Chain A
């Protein structure tokens, strides 16, 4: 990291939008973790007497087409949607870091092969590929996480490769090589830890994209399948009842929007705070 923690925090704090985004991100995290405590109802509890009811004091966000409490489903949905985002990004980061490290550290033919592979993956319209694979193997939550993960690692791989290219000639690496440290040790023990910052920023941005991809899949009917609640599939039920049940599309729509926005702002804020080149006044 190019800046020490204190300076970094000072710079991040100056970006008010990012700060607010950060607060939203943390709050959403807490909601997802404490979903069981926070939900007023069981998210799956069907109630034939309260079908498609607008918000009331009993159901603050209204009810859905099976009379289930939308607030509770939104709260549990945050857990599912965030899990999709984080697991998918986790998978993408691991793949990206491995490929990026191999390409950047060894150069030569491993680099050429990996770069060509990245070019290939970047030339496939990713959403087409996700759609085809999910439709063919089925939309279980794991399949969705894995497929989004394995189709979105390329950016991270490139970043890591670039970091490795610049770091591998640095003194601390050369020193480690001189004392006979193994490649694996150098890659993961020395270089990787020093190139985590951009990976982290990129991963934060990826979480929002993954949540959006899930909602797009839900719209096409192959996202997380009900009765498991996700923001995407609540929104899809809302879409079909747009004119009579605004609460079914406005709340999940805004949840996706605000979450996406917050992650982006945080990601950008982190990038600005971490990137020495963007520091004003310095060259």
Chain B
């Protein structure tokens, strides 16, 4: 295996709420009910664009590989794999005797079928790109699957997750978007679909012949509750066992005896960050000093305290703290209005008419922060920045725009001054599409039009080598340059804060969250709440 990941020192905090009786032996039975605002749309991973679909499909389908709790890559449906010395060829050796839930054996043909489907033009999937890097794919025998890449592609191994495994015997020759399987999937994961009632719930039952062992909890119910306040009331009323808490709910509303006695809260950093991006084509923001002055006028710790209630950390670059590509030693901008004013004056921004707002060439410093509607954390962040920038004489307007209008009319067409957005990042550090100067065309992701030849080189270097130290060196340097030049002001990395009913045991929080071992969760016999008749 080529890639080694750094461990997770003291990351996941696990609050002791009640003492787990060691004599509790894992037992079968009971049901786990999760609350979700959104309903899954399609239970086939490669077609799904929303997190609800991936949450549920993740329990039904496994991939060839998966992330270990220390972010290393381990086998899932693959027993092992070999990588050629140049990194261009990966040969997967699949586990034997893994059965689809309809009883048919899972083989290399299913992987081949999944791969062919995802690269097919007719398949409407947003995940094609990684698989187009594959030059050749072959089935060597029933349990061996080999892919050959044209150029070294560092993230290659990690792309063979559950997006590309489909039951060939059920789908061959059919239009997969029209298939019944999008609503009644057949997988080989720990759970299988029992019933899906639109708008109400998705009921999954445990797969008794799951190749990693029968899951202890017999039934998993994904309950759809569109309003967050209602969902929180349901949690208290016992209608659901598990949900994601907002920062306020985590810090203020669940800090009661009732919650301590009945629930367990968890907290771990998410693989995403929120940032404020400047349109670098805009004459005002072309000037590095202006961007740096703005950075000096924003107190990131205030945003983390107020918006996230401390449930997250200020971010300094496009990676999450405590992962191997993360460089902690980059330039930081303390909250310092004096330096900010000085930098702005240097750039020519002075309050000449005494109205409290800076001017340059007769124009007042006034701009609009755009963000997407419906994300309160971002709107609150923008509001705080608006308030802070007013103190150095910059007038900020905040505008929240509906998502697709936001992307289509403003981001894609470059009609913005400043945006507040977030990126969900993969575990692999390749961010070619976000920072490379060739990716600034309409609809591409370097929408702030950042262009730096050194960064371009480093990005290319980072994705074309498998040597972890070399990659690390490249990504560390990129972070230094970004911190100096500030095309984005990196704001924060939010924590995920799920809550689970305390009768459910066996949850081990790690860097990758809690649900990775859901099939090992259990409820001790005496605490079981729901009786499942099967």
Contacts and interface: CB of A to CB of B under 8 A. Distances in A.
A221 B387 contact: no
Contact of A66 (B373, B380, B400, B402): B380
B496 interface: no
Contacts of B374: 221
Interface stretch (B178-186, B245-253, B280-288): B245-253
B405 A138 contact: yes
A242 B379 contact: no
B228 interface: yes
Contact of B386 (A227, A240, A241): A227
Interface in B368-396: 373-374, 379-380, 383-384, 386-387
Given A221-B373, A222-B373, A66 B386 contact: no
A65 B380 contact: yes
A128 interface: no
Nearest to B379: A226
B253 A243 contact: yes
A244 B253 contact: yes
B228 A240 contact: yes
Nearest to A139: B373
A123 to B, nearest CB: 26
A65 B374 CA distance: 16
A18 to B, nearest CB: 35
A208 to B, nearest CB: 24
Interface string B298-328: 0000100110000000000000000000000
A52 interface: yes
Contact of A227 (B228, B305, B306, B383): B383
A227 B373 contact: no
Contact of A48 (B252, B306, B386, B405): B306
A222 to B, nearest CB: 7
A103 to B, nearest CB: 36
Contacts of A111: none
Nearest to B382: A227
Interface in B67-112: none
Interface in B384-431: 384, 386-387, 398-402, 405
Contacts of B22: none
B229 interface: yes
Contact of B398 (A137, A227, A241, A243): A227
Contacts of A122: none
Contact of B229 (A221, A227, A240): A240
Greatest chain A CB density within 10 A among B229, B253, B383, B399 is at B229
Contacts of A39: none
A242 B229 contact: yes
B252 A66 contact: no
B305 A66 contact: no
A243 B253 CA distance: 7
Nearest to B388: A46
Interface string B244-269: 00101000110000000000000000
Nearest to A241: B248
B6 to A, nearest CB: 34
Given A138-B405, A239-B229, A240-B229, A226 B383 contact: yes
Interface string A23-47: 0000000000000000000001110
Interface in A68-100: none
A109 interface: no
Contacts of B252: 52, 241, 244
B373 A65 contact: no
B335 to A, nearest CB: 12
B228 A136 contact: no
A173 interface: no
Interface residues of B, number: 23
**SS class, residues of chain B in contact with chain A:** helix
A107 interface: no
A139 B306 CA distance: 26
A44 B395 CA distance: 13
A49 B380 CA distance: 16
A135 B228 CA distance: 19
A218 to B, nearest CB: 12
A48 B306 CA distance: 6
B302 A48 contact: yes
B306 A66 contact: yes
Nearest to B405: A138
Contact of B402 (A48, A51, A135, A244): A135
A48 B305 CA distance: 8
A226 B380 CA distance: 8
A67 interface: yes
Contacts of A242: 229
Contacts of A46: 306, 383-384, 387
Contact of B248 (A67, A135, A239, A240): A240
A225 B401 CA distance: 9
A65 B252 CA distance: 11
B373 A225 contact: yes
Contacts of B405: 136-138
Contact of A138 (B379, B380, B402): B402
Contact of A240 (B246, B380, B398, B401): B246
A138 B248 CA distance: 27
Contacts of B401: 138
A147 to B, nearest CB: 14
A222 B403 CA distance: 12
A141 B228 CA distance: 25
B115 to A, nearest CB: 38
A51 B303 CA distance: 13
Contact of A65 (B248, B302, B400, B402): B248
A105 B105 CA distance: 79
A226 B379 CA distance: 7
Interface string B412-453: 000000000000000000000000000000000000000000
B246 A66 contact: no
A45 B306 CA distance: 13
Contacts of B229: 239-240, 242
Nearest to A222: B373
B391 to A, nearest CB: 11
B188 to A, nearest CB: 39
A138 B409 CA distance: 12
Contacts of B373: 138-139, 221-222, 225
A204 to B, nearest CB: 32
A52 B380 CA distance: 14
Contacts of A241: 248, 252-253
Contacts of A44: 383, 386-387
Contacts of B253: 241, 243-244
A241 B252 CA distance: 9
Interface of A: 44-46, 48, 51-52, 65-67, 135-139, 221-222, 225-227, 239-244
Give 3 nearest A-B pairs by CB, closest first.
A227-B383, A225-B400, A46-B387
Given A138-B401, A226-B398, 10 more contacts: A46-B306, A48-B306, A52-B252, A66-B306, A221-B373, A225-B379, A226-B400, A227-B386, A240-B248, A244-B253
22 contacts: A46-B306, A46-B383, A46-B387, A48-B302, A52-B248, A65-B248, A66-B384, A138-B402, A138-B405, A139-B400, A225-B398, A225-B400, A226-B379, A226-B400, A227-B386, A227-B398, A240-B248, A241-B252, A242-B229, A243-B253, A244-B252, A244-B253
